[in-house]
């Protein structure tokens, strides 16, 4: 927009605002009296993520440490912990309840239990704990989704599969719902070599024999690709999706629930369609399931691609797609969708949760994509973690500030 057009636009908006203000003040007195709105006693659900906020003195100490030079690691792939070492904290389980309990008593019971749970987790020590979810309302979403599930799909990002598919979550689901099968779906497999994908599949199979493992590729935005490349990518994704659907049907059959391709008939691809459409009736309104309904609950940490996985099932059809974002925590409420007109298979998308862990540093959470960068109060720790493994000064042609010191510091890089 040119300066002249911008000036005309602002002048027009100013005139419109003056007109609105004038009409408001010239309204008759009776126009100010409106029918009182219905007052609801129902407490609104607050699903904002709640993290521990470090004191100012801790932040100041980290900033001071950023001036210290560091020596690059000899092995850039070195990491001192196994994923299983981090997730030793058990997850909160929904307290027992029955239908005779009032909403108030149920909420009070759950809050009392959750407060006690948080106190027990804090006994590990704040300095050892990660930035895990502390909002009870978010955990309630996981509890509800788990209760009416027929099976679970735990989605994880292949780049950090061991960290983004928490062993504590797998243990909790297997312990609380032993009859409900679990499919670990390794997502974004196009971002790493095939050998890495196979290595993670073997790792999950060896460590968690009670789960099955599937893979999917995301490809990102393919609209700028040529038609041949686009067709090749979509064909490969269609084949992978077909394998996942076969796994789901086999797991359903083990539960004496017969599913056919007809129940997944809309899980198909159309390379030429790019418009998002909505149709009334796509989103399920129930919070439970009927006897002839197979519910697939999709759970996991933030930013692993849960919503994108659902879009694979719903791709380019007359259905509402699930919103996705590069920022973790896009999905706030659990969402329900049917996969076809038979309405026998329902997908439930649960908001992503950061599960409690010990000795999992904040830089690792940031790099895994589970902690929002916008909430990061100091970048030096994360930059230092990367720079010990990747020579950022060479990659970005940086010039040293302190020539008398051979090694770099996180502060210099920033």
Higher pLDDT among residues 127 and 287, named by residue: 127
Residue 179 confidence (pLDDT): 95
* Under 8 Å between Cβ of 313 and 339: yes
Of 9-18, 365-374, 400-409, the least confident: 9-18
Q: How confident is residue 367, by pLDDT bands cut at 50, 70 and 90? A: confident
Residue 224 confidence (pLDDT): 79
Residue 157 confidence (pLDDT): 92
| Concatenated DSSP letters of 326-374 | SSTT---S-EEEESSTT--EEEEEPPP-----BS--HHHHHHHT-S-GG
Indicate the pTM of the whole model. Answer: 0.76
Residue 320 confidence (pLDDT): 42
Q: Which long-range contacts (CB under 8 A, 24 or more apart) does 381-389 make?
A: 381/62, 381/66, 381/410, 383/410, 383/413, 383/414, 384/66, 384/70, 384/409, 384/410, 384/413, 385/361, 387/70, 387/72, 387/413, 388/70, 388/71, 388/72, 388/73, 389/72, 389/73, 389/76, 389/77, 389/78
Residue 331 confidence (pLDDT): 44
Average pLDDT over residues 2-20: 67
**pLDDT > 70? residue 383:** yes
pLDDT tens for 105-124 read 999 999 999 999 999 999 99
Domains and CATH numbers, the chain: 84-349 (3.40.50.300), 362-400 (no CATH)
Q: How confident is residue 399, by pLDDT bands cut at 50, 70 and 90? A: confident
**pLDDT > 70? residue 27:** no
Residue 56 confidence (pLDDT): 84
Residue 13 confidence (pLDDT): 67
Residue 254 confidence (pLDDT): 94
Q: What are phi and psi of 356, to 5 degrees?
A: -65, 140
Higher pLDDT among residues 78 and 133, named by residue: 133
Higher pLDDT among residues 305 and 8, named by residue: 305
Residue 333 confidence (pLDDT): 58
Q: How confident is residue 268, by pLDDT bands cut at 50, 70 and 90? A: very low
Residue 16 confidence (pLDDT): 67
Q: What are phi and psi of 342, to 5 degrees?
A: -70, -20
């Amino acid at each position: 927009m040119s300066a002249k057009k911008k000036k005309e636009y602002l002048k027009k908006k100013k005139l419109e605002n003056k007109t609105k203000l004038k009409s408001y003040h010239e309204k008759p007195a009776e126009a100010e009296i409106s029918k009182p709105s219905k007052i609801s006693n129902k407490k609104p659900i607050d699903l904002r993520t709640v993290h521990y906020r470090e004191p100012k003195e801790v932040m100041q100490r980290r900033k001071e440490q950023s001036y210290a030079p560091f020596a690059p690691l000899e092995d850039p792939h070195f990491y001192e912990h196994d994923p299983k070492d981090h997730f030793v904290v058990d997850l909160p389980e929904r307290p027992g309840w029955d239908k005779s309990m009032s909403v108030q008593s149920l909420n009070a019971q759950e809050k009392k239990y959750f407060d006690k749970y948080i106190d027990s987790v804090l006994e590990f020590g704040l300095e050892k704990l990660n930035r895990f979810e502390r909002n009870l309302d978010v955990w309630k979403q996981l509890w509800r989704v788990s209760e009416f599930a027929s099976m679970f799909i735990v989605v994880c990002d292949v780049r950090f599969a061991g960290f983004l598919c928490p062993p504590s979550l797998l243990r909790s689901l297997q312990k609380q719902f032993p009859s409900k099968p679990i499919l670990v779906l390794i997502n974004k497999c196009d971002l790493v070599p095939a050998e890495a994908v196979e290595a993670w599949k073997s790792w999950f199979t060896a460590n968690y024999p009670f789960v099955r493992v599937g893979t999917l590729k995301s490809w990102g935005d393919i609209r700028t690709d040529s038609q041949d490349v686009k067709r090749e990518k979509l064909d490969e994704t269609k084949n992978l999706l077909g394998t996942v659907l076969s796994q789901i049907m086999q797991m359903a059959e083990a539960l004496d629930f017969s599913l056919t391709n007809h129940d997944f008939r809309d899980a198909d691809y159309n390379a030429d369609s790019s418009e998002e459409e909505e149709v009334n009736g796509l989103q399920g309104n129930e919070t439970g399931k009927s006897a002839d309904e197979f519910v697939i609950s999709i759970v996991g940490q933030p930013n692993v691609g849960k919503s994108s996985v659902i879009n694979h099932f719903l791709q380019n059809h007359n259905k509402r797609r699930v919103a996705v974002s590069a920022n973790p925590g896009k999905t706030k409420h659990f969402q329900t969708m049917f996969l076809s007109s038979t309405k026998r298979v329902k997908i439930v998308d649960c908001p992503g949760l950061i599960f409690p862990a010990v000795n999992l540093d904040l830089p690792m959470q940031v790099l895994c994509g589970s902690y929002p960068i916008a909430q990061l109060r100091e970048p030096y720790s994360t930059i230092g973690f990367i720079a010990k493994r990747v020579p950022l000064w060479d990659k970005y042609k940086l010039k040293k500030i302190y020539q008398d010191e051979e090694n770099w510091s996180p502060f210099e890089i920033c």
